[in-house]
Structure 1
Amino acid sequence: MRLEARDLSIGYGREVVGSSLTLSVAPGRVVCLLGPNGCGKTTLFRTLLGLLPPLGGEVLLGGDPIARLKRAEIARRIAYVPQAHAPPFPFETLEVVMMGRTARLGAFAQPGAADRTAAQAALDRLGIGDLAARDYSRLSGGQRQLVLIARALAQAAPLIVMDEPTASLDFGNQAQVLAQIAGLAQGAGQGVILSTHDPDQAFALGADVVLMSDGRIIGNGAAETVLSGAALSRVYGLPVAVEMTESGRRVCLPARRG
C-alpha cells in the first residue's frame, strides 16, 4: 500500500506551515524526513494521518483520498508512533500494546487470545517482553517509546508513521529499533516514514530522504543523492561534511574549521 502527498499545503486554520509538498512512501521502503525544528515535520505527519485537514492538495492512502476514509479504515492501513505519550490511566504495558489491535476488532468486540498473543509477540520482538505486566506510566521514557513501537507492530498495518522514534533511546536501543525498521521494510514489505534529526540514520537504513526547510521540500530521493554536505549546510546553518568510513559507510559531521 502506498502513501502519497500531492502538492500538499499544511497548517492550522489560516496559518500555512508548509506548501507544495509532494512525496510518496512505497511498500517495502523507508523514508526519512529530515529538517530543523519548526520546519513543519510534525504538522506534515498529522496531515498525512488525517488528523489535520490539508489546506491544499491531497493525501492518498492506497489510492484513496484520506479525507473520504473513516478513522477505523485509516487505522487498518496506517499505524502511528508518536514522539511522546502521557497515559491518562495506569495501564499495564501489555494493555497499551493491545490497543493497537482495536482497529481489527468489530464495533463491540473485545480483544481475545489471538490479540494478546500478537501484543506479547510485538513486545518480545523488541526485547521488552518482561515489561508486559509493568505499569506503563512508571516506565522510563525510553521504555515507553519502545512500547509505542510495539503497539504499532501489533497493529499490523501496511504503513507506519514514526515521529522521531529513537529520540529518547540509548545507543543500544537506537540500533535495535533501526534494525527493526529495516526488517519491517525488507522482510514484511511495509512502508515506513520516520522523522529524525540524525542524517546518519538515513544512510544506515538505505532510506529515501525528504529534506525540509522553512515549510518546503528542498530534496527528495535516495540518501546518497540528497544528503550532500552542501544541502545539509544550507538546511542546518553550519558547515557539514559527508565522509566515508573505512568500512564504506557514509557519516555526517560538522566540518572542521581552521
Structure 2
Amino acid sequence: MKRETPPASVDTSLLATHDLSVRVGERSLVPALSFTIRPGEFWCLLGRNGVGKTLLLHTLAGARLPAAGLLQMGGKPLADWKLDELACWRGFMPQQLHDAFATPVLDVVLQGRHPHLSRWHWEGEADHALARAALARVGLAGFEARDVRSLSGGERQRVALATLITQDPPLALLDEPLAHLDLAQQLRMLTLLQDEVRQRGRAVLMSVHDLSLAERVATHVLLLPGGGEPALAGPVAQVMQADTLSAAFDQPLRCHTLDGHRWWLPL
C-alpha cells in the first residue's frame, strides 16, 4: 500500500521560517531568518562562498537543527513530522553525491519512490514507469542499466535530479544543482524545474552562483550577505538590485538587458 502525501493545513505555505538562525560554533551565519515559500514559487538562494548557503539548505531540509527560531513545513513544526511523511513533502538534492557500491542507474532513481511505499512493499510497474520517464526528461533514456559509478559528474547530477522528480515532492531543495553541467544541460534542468513550478504548482529553492541564470528563472530570491548580516528575501525585482548585489558579493555589478533577458556582469 502506498502512502499519500500529507495534506497542507489551512496555511498554504510549503515552508516557513520565523527568526530561524544558523550558526557554526560561535559564528552566526544566518541570523533571524523569516520567509515563506508557497506553491508556484521558484526561489534562488544567492551569496558568495562561505556565507552558509549549504548549511541553511541542510537546516531547511531537516538534516540539522537550527540554532534558534521556528521551521514549519505545510503549516506545522518540523518536529511534528514523521520522517517518511516529510520525505513525501520535501525533496533534497545535496551538493556532494557519493556512490560506494556498483548500482544500476534505474535502481538509484527508484530510491525516490521509497518514501511512498509501506515497509513491506516493493516498487511496482507504475514506479518503474515514473523512474524511466524521469530519466528521459533529464536526457538519460537508455542509461537504466549503467553502473552509477561509471557516469560523468554531469550525468550523475542529472541522475540525482531524476531521482528527485521520481520522488515528486511539493517542495524541492537543491544545493548547487547546476554544478558539473554544461550550458545545454543547465538550461535543460532549469526548464524542467520551471515546468514543475509553473505547470504543477510545485516550489523550488536552489542555490546558484550564476546571477544571470537566477534572474532568468526565479520568482523570488533569498540573498545571504554574510558577515552576520540579515538575509534579504523577496521577489526578484525587489532583491536583485545592483547596489544590493554589489555589496553582498563585494564586487561592483551592473545589469544589462539583451533580447528581453537581464544579464549581470562585473564592472
Q: Same fold (TM over 0.5)?
A: yes
Counterpart of 1:203, as a letter, is: E
Asked whether 1:7 is paired with 2:19, we answer yes
Asked whether 1:239 is paired with 2:240, we answer no
Identity score, percent: 35
Q: Compute the TM-score of the two structures, normalised by the length of structure 2.
A: 0.91
| Distance in 2 between residues matched to 1:99 and 1:208, nearest whole Å | 30
Q: How does 1:58-137 map to 2 (within 5 A)?
A: 58-137=70-149
Deviation digits for residues 137-157 of structure 1, max 9, x if unmatched?
110000000000000000011
Question: Which residue does the alignment assign to 2:204?
Answer: 192
Q: Where does structure 1 lack aligned partners over 5 or more consecutive residues?
A: none
* Paired residues, number: 254
Q: CA deviation at 1:125?
A: 1.2
| Alignment counterpart, residue 176 of structure 2, candidates 155, 159, 164 | 164
Q: CA deviation at 1:95?
A: 0.5
Q: CA deviation at 1:15?
A: 5.2
Q: What SS class does the counterpart of residue 130 from structure 1 fall into?
A: coil
Q: What SS class does the counterpart of residue 200 from structure 2 fall into?
A: coil
Question: Which residue does the alignment assign to 2:165?
Answer: 153
Tell me how large the CA RMSD over aligned residues is.
1.4
Q: Compute the TM-score of the two structures, normalised by the length of structure 1.
A: 0.94
Q: What SS class does the counterpart of residue 200 from structure 1 fall into?
A: helix
Deviation digits for residues 54-101 of structure 1, max 9, x if unmatched?
111111100010122121111010011111211121111111100010
Counterpart of 2:34, as a letter, is: T
Q: CA deviation at 1:108?
A: 2.1
Q: What SS class does the counterpart of residue 142 from structure 2 fall into?
A: helix
Q: CA deviation at 1:12?
A: 4.5
Q: Where does structure 2 lack aligned partners over 5 or more consecutive residues?
A: 1-12
Say if 1:6 and 1:59, in contact at 8 Å, map to a contact too. yes
Question: Which residue does the alignment assign to 1:227?
Answer: 240
Say if 1:8 and 1:21, in contact at 8 Å, map to a contact too. yes
| Distance in 2 between residues matched to 1:221 and 1:19, nearest whole Å | 17
Deviation digits for residues 95-141 of structure 1, max 9, x if unmatched?
11000100000022221221111111110111111211111011000
